[in-house]
């Protein structure tokens, strides 16, 4: 009611503000408390994991040495995760990461030989079922590991029908390899990238008339036919391939020394690759055999304890 | 009246007379506007056209229902030819009761349409394509009205003349040429001429893009899409046609019939594809071999060009043969042999070996072993290999590898001397044929016994097995690959497949 009469109440009464300084401060405080709690929990978990690191490493390495790749992969991958969260970049951490990769690769091997895969691919391609092959490869083989010993070459100029790209692949860690088995008179080549290659002595040296083989692992990415060159290309996933370094697991995989590639040659190749991969094999004692009561073993175990305490 | 005003008056009269003649409308236009005739009664008009009949005082035009009458007898219209029937009449539309007629006040004989066409032809350097098109429209309209085929043909001729003039003026400008090609379509002169002008525009564009790969690629794609026969590898022009076309593309294309044009599209595409390959290869630093491969793949008929690039690459490789690695040398030697250049191949191998011989001779037994392997695999030179191995044996007797190699070469140690016990070694270059002694299922040991040490071994681990491939033979020649499967459990290997590998080129 006003002096002029009854005033109608406005339809839009101003609402109370949602964001007020008090609410803002309260929200910040809640977030701070929640963040601190989250961080503390993480630290607690990390501290607990760090306490288990020694066991994880020991068990993982023991399993790897025993050829139990599944357990080794589980433990070493977990150990690698802890090391990553701890931000460890020392040689021991590098070694565990490398062994973790090796165990994971050995545990996730492709189910059949490459020759069988390629035979299937070639059969389907010739029957005109390219799409069926792509789906089959995607379902059965993509992402599985191959561990291979082969002579690698710097990539030549390659014609790529899909991308239309031509010319030399100039990435220093890129490689190609002839997979020396013709599938229905079609040649087979592998391609991929190996970060350690650039540090491998003699890699790509044109003067090396007898290049040594390289032992490496990688996940299968694609297997496709290039009709222009009548070549099957097996491509390894670029960010997964790595140089193999462990002679014990190499043996467990079934790579036995023979007349052509004896123990010494294998050891020499793996040593060379360890150096290229920056792996110091003496950086960590073998936990599986460390606890034999000797002074050396005790010191190794002590080192391991110290590792876990870090 | 002084002289000047009189002159002005004469000029005005003359010009107004000319204007009246110029302002004459054709009978065709007059008929088209027949609905306006009632409103034009009494209006002075000049009409020109072909008369159909004439009487003493009556005249009728072709395709016009209106009578043209004169109050006085018409002059005799002399016809020098059946076509000579063009007249210009000046007069007014009048009413005769309810009927309309045209009262002729003046009648003049006109030159026939073909003569008019010839007189109106644009000539001289200032003539424009538009002038020709105007003439074409005139003759086309008139030809249609009188159903005069000859005049209609003249229209086509005028259009062609206009197009030719426009094309000449647009020469060297792809955009303008394409505009002319569009005019060809709107003037319905025919696809052939339009295609010829499009072709000329394309040639101009090709000249202007130079060696830019992106632009060349765009042009190539357009040719693929819009030029029939361009992608058809079987659609080949004979040498003479292709030669003439490359010399004078526009003229040869203009004159070519439809089939030949399709062949020329392929020539155009092939030349462009090769140009593009070269441009892209130059940018990417691609080798001559790859250029040759690309040419063979994309332009199979251009094998001569491909061979030329291969030859150039081989010559360049020969220059640096001594710096090559073994596998590269093998590849080059294989290429040289394929190119029937065996002498060059042998020379390259000799130079390569000479460079390494000195270094290997300083490496004692291992160096001599390596040298023996090299001369055997590269030159099949058994005598040099044997002498190297004997020398190695003298340096350090009873080294197992040396003994094994000598044994493989047919030598055996009798007492302290190596003597040749077999001469059954092949003397031809080492070529591995599909071995009869190797069979699926035989063990690795049996394979080794049958075929000896493989040149290369590749191994690959799968879930339960190790797959091994043993390769026999030289990379440059034929090679045999034997696939063995080694079970992880007992470690025994068994031959699973045998395959003949293509030589590495």
- B 471-490: CB under 8 A from A: 471, 479, 481, 483, 485-488
Res A26: pLDDT:
94
pLDDT value at A182 more than 90: no
Q: Hey, is the C-beta of B208 within 8 angstroms of any chain A C-beta?
A: no
In the predicted model, what is the mean pLDDT of residues A148-163?
A: 64
pLDDT > 70? residue A310: no
Q: Is residue A293 part of a domain?
A: no
Residue A96 and residue A80 in contact, taking contact as beta carbons nearer than 8 Å:
yes
Higher pLDDT among residues B264 and B1, named by residue: B264
CB contact at 8 A, B146 and B133: no
Contact B484, B472 (CB under 8 A): no
Q: For chain A, say whether B322 makes contact (Cβ under 8 Å).
A: no
Q: What is the pLDDT of residue A284?
A: 57
For residues A207 and B441, the model is more confident at B441
Asked whether residue A54 is domain-assigned, the answer is yes
Residue A124 sits in the same domain as residue A272: yes
Task: Check B448 against A259: CB less than 8 A apart.
Answer: yes
Please name the residue that has the structure tokens 């071995």: B435
Q: What is the predicted pLDDT for the residue at B430?
A: 43
Searching chain A, which residue's CA lies closest to the CA of residue B491? A254
Same domain, yes or no: A29 and A137? no
B356 touching A (Cβ < 8 Å): yes
Task: Give dist(CA B446, CA B434) in Å, integer.
Answer: 16
Q: How far apart are CA B317 and CA B306, in angstroms?
A: 16
> Are A71 and A155 contained in the same domain?
no
Q: What are the boundaries of each domain within chain B?
A: 19-110, 123-295, 320-361, 363-430, 444-501
Q: pLDDT: is A4 or A270 the higher one?
A: A270
The shortest CB-CB distance from B461 to any of A109, A168, A187 is to A109
Q: What is the C-alpha separation between B117 and B422, in angstroms, rounded?
A: 102
Instruction: Tell me whether residues A258 and B458 touch, CB distance under 8 A.
Output: no
Q: Per-residue pLDDT for A298 more than 70?
A: no
One domain, residues A87 and A209: no
Mutate to test the interface with A, among B458, B466, B487 (most CBs of A within 10 A): B458
The pLDDT, as a whole number, for residue B177 is 94
Question: Mapping DSSP to helix (H, G, I), strand (E, B) and coil, where does residue A138 land?
Answer: helix
Closest partner residue to B286 among A146, A157, A182, by Cβ?
A157
What is chain B's mean pLDDT, rounded?
Answer: 84
> How far apart are the C-alpha atoms of A201 and A208, rounded to whole Å?
11
As a whole number, the mean pLDDT across chain A is 77
The pLDDT of residue B276 is above 70: yes
Question: How much of chain B exceeds pLDDT 70, in percent?
Answer: 90
Mean pLDDT within B444-458: 80
- Does the pLDDT at position B427 exceed 70? no
Mean pLDDT of A99-107: 91
- Mutation target among A181, A212, A251, A261 for the B interface, most CBs of B within 10 A: A181
Q: What is the pLDDT of residue B266?
A: 93
CB of B44 less than 8 A from some CB of A: no
A109: left (phi over 0), alpha (psi -120 to 50) or beta: beta
Q: Are B161 and B128 in contact (CB under 8 A)?
A: no
Q: Report the C-alpha gap between A256 and A226 in whole angstroms.
A: 34
Position A208 confidence tier, pLDDT thresholds 50, 70, 90: low
Is B297 touching A (CB cutoff 8 A)?
A: yes
The pLDDT tens digits of the residues spanning B70-93 come to: 988 888 888 888 889 999 999 999
In this structure, are A123 and A272 located in the same domain? yes
CA of B426 to nearest chain A CA: how many angstroms apart? 24
User: Of A83, A107, A131, which residue sits at a domain end?
Assistant: A107
Integer Cα distance of A90 and A85 in angstroms? 13
Q: Distance between alpha carbon B83 and the CA centroid of its chain, in Å?
A: 51
pLDDT recorded at residue B151: 92
Nearest to A260 among B297, B325, B453 (CB): B453
> pLDDT tens across A47-71, in order?
887 788 888 888 888 888 888 888 9
Contacts with B476 from chain A: Cβ below 8 Å: none
pLDDT band at B1 (very low <50, low <70, confident <90, very high): very low
Q: Is the pLDDT of residue B434 over 60?
A: no
Regarding whether A212 and A138 lie in a shared domain, the answer is yes
pLDDT of residue B25: 92
Mean pLDDT, to the nearest integer, of B315-325? 83
| Domain stop point among A53, A88, A107 | A107
**Is the pLDDT higher at B333 or at B155?**
B155
Q: Which residues of B touch A214 (CB under 8 A)?
A: none
Judgement on whether residues A148 and A269 belong to the same structural domain of the protein: yes
Query: In CATH, which superfamily holds the domain spanning B19-110?
Result: Bacterial OB-fold (2.40.50.200)
The token pair that represents A203 in the structure block:
């890699």
Residue A1 lies in a domain: no
Decide if pLDDT at A306 tops 50: no
CA distances from A273 to A92, A155, A209, B133 (A): 17, 20, 20, 81
The number of folded domains in chain A is 2
What would the pLDDT profile of A7-22 be if each residue is shown by its tens digit?
Answer: 444 455 556 788 889 9
Per-residue pLDDT band at B8 (split at 50, 70, 90): low
- pLDDT band for position B118 (cuts 50, 70, 90): very high
Q: Cβ atoms within 10 A of the Cβ of B219, count?
A: 19
Ranges B208-212, B266-270, B411-415, most confident: B266-270
Residues A85 and A161 in one domain: no
Q: Nearest CA to A219 among A72, A116, A107, A118?
A: A107
**3-class secondary structure, A222:** strand
More confident residue, B21 or A119: A119
Which pair of structure tokens corresponds to residue B464? 């339960």
Structural domain including A93 reads 21-107
| Residue B497 touches chain A, beta carbons under 8 Å | yes
Q: What is the pLDDT of residues A233-244, one digit of tens each?
A: 899 987 888 999
| ipTM given for this complex | 0.74
A148 occurs within a structural domain: yes
In a domain, A250, yes or no: yes
Q: How far apart are the C-alpha atoms of B477 and B336, rounded to whole Å?
A: 12
Identify whether A309 is part of a domain.
no
Is A85 found in the same domain as A55? yes
* H/E element, A17: none
- Residue A296, helix vs strand vs coil: helix
Distance CA B195, CA B184 (A): 10
> pLDDT tens-digit profile of B396-407?
887 777 887 788
On whether the CB atoms of residues B259 and B237 are closer than 8 A, the answer is no
- Nearest beta carbon to residue B294 from set A113, A159, A253: A159
CATH of residue A47: 1.20.58
Q: Which of A278, A271, A300, A299 is nearest to A287 (CA)?
A: A300
Percent of chain A with pLDDT over 70: 77
d(CA A98, CA A101): 5
Confidence check: pLDDT of B255 > 80: yes
Same domain, A234 and A204: yes
Residue of B nearest to A257 (CA): B491
The pLDDT value given to residue B165: 93
Q: Which helix (H) or strand (E) element contains residue B282?
A: helix B258-284
pLDDT of residue A86: 83
Phi and psi angles of residue B368, each rounded to the nearest 5 degrees, phi first = -70, -35
């Amino acid at each position: 009611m006003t002096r002029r009469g009854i005033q109608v109440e406005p339809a839009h009464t101003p609402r109370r503000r949602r964001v007020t300084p008090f609410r803002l401060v309260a929200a910040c405080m809640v977030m701070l408390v929640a963040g601190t709690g989250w961080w503390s929990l993480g630290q607690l978990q990390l501290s607990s994991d760090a306490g288990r690191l020694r066991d994880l490493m020991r068990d993982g390495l023991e399993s790897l040495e025993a050829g139990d790749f599944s357990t080794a992969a589980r433990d070493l991958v977990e150990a690698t995760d802890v090391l990553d969260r701890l931000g460890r970049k020392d040689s021991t951490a590098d070694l565990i990461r490398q062994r973790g990769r090796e165990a994971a690769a050995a545990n996730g091997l492709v189910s059949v030989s490459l020759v069988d895969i390629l035979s299937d691919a070639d059969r389907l391609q010739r029957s005109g079922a390219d799409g069926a092959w792509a789906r089959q490869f995607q379902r059965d083989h993509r992402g599985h590991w191959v561990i291979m010993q082969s002579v690698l070459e710097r990539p030549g100029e390659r014609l790529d029908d899909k991308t239309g790209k031509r010319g030399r692949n100039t990435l220093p860690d890129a490689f190609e390899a002839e997979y020396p088995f013709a599938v229905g008179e079609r040649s087979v080549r592998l391609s991929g990238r190996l970060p350690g290659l650039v540090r491998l002595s003699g890699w790509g040296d044109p003067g090396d008339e007898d290049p040594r083989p390289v032992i490496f692992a990688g996940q299968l990415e694609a297997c496709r036919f290039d009709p222009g060159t009548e070549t099957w290309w097996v491509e390894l996933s670029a960010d997964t391939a790595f140089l193999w370094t462990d002679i014990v697991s190499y043996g467990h995989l079934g790579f036995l020394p023979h007349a052509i590639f004896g123990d010494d040659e294998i050891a020499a190749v793996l040593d060379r690759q360890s150096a290229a991969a920056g792996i110091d094999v003496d950086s960590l004692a073998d936990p599986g055999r460390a606890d034999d009561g000797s002074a050396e073993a005790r010191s190794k175990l002590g080192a391991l304890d110290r590792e876990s305490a870090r | 009246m002084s002289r000047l005003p009189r002159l002005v008056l004469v000029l005005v009269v003359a010009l107004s007379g000319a204007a009246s003649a110029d302002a004459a409308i054709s009978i065709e236009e007059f008929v088209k506007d027949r609905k306006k005739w009632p409103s034009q009664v009494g209006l002075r008009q000049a009409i020109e056209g072909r008369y159909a009949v004439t009487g003493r005082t009556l005249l009728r035009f072709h395709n016009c229902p209106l009578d043209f009458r004169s109050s006085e007898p018409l002059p005799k219209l002399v016809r020098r030819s059946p076509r000579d029937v063009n007249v210009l009449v000046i007069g007014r539309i009048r009413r005769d009761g309810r009927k309309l007629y045209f009262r002729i006040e003046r009648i003049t004989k006109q030159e026939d349409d073909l003569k008019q066409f010839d007189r109106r032809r644009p000539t001289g350097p200032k003539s424009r394509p538009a002038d020709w098109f105007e003439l074409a429209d005139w003759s086309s309209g008139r030809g249609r009205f009188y159903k005069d085929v000859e005049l209609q043909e003249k229209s086509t001729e005028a259009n062609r003349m206009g197009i030719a003039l426009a094309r000449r003026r647009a020469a060297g400008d792809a955009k303008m040429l394409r505009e002319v090609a569009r005019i060809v379509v709107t003037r319905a002169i025919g696809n052939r001429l339009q295609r010829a002008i499009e072709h000329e525009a394309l040639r101009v564009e090709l000249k202007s893009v130079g060696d830019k790969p992106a632009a060349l690629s765009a042009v190539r794609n357009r040719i693929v899409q819009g030029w029939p026969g361009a992608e058809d590898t079987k659609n080949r022009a004979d040498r003479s046609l292709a030669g003439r076309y490359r010399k004078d593309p526009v003229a040869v294309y203009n004159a070519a019939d439809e089939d030949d044009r399709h062949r020329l599209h392929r020539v155009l595409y092939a030349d462009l594809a090769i140009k593009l390959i070269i441009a892209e290869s130059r940018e990417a630093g691609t080798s001559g071999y790859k250029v040759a491969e690309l040419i063979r793949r994309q332009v199979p008929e251009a094998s001569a060009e491909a061979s030329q690039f291969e030859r150039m690459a081989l010559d360049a490789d020969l220059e640096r043969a001594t710096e090559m690695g073994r596998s590269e040398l093998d590849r080059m030697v294989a290429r040289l042999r394929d190119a029937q250049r065996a002498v060059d191949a042998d020379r390259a191998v000799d130079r390569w070996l000479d460079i390494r011989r000195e270094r290997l001779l300083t490496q004692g037994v291992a160096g001599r072993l390596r040298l023996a392997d090299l001369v055997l695999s590269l030159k099949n030179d058994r005598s040099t290999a044997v002498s190297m191995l004997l020398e190695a044996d003298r340096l350090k007797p009873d080294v197992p590898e040396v003994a094994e190699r000598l044994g493989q070469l047919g030598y055996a140690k009798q007492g302290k001397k190596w003597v040749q016990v077999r001469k059954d070694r092949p003397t031809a270059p080492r070529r591995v044929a599909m071995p009869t002694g190797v069979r699926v299922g035989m063990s690795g040991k049996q394979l080794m016994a049958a075929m000896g040490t493989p040149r290369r071994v590749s191994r690959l681990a799968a879930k339960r097995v190790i797959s091994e491939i043993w390769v026999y033979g030289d990379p440059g020649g034929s090679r045999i690959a034997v696939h063995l499967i080694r079970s992880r459990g007992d470690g025994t290997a068994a031959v699973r497949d045998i395959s003949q590998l293509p030589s590495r080129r």
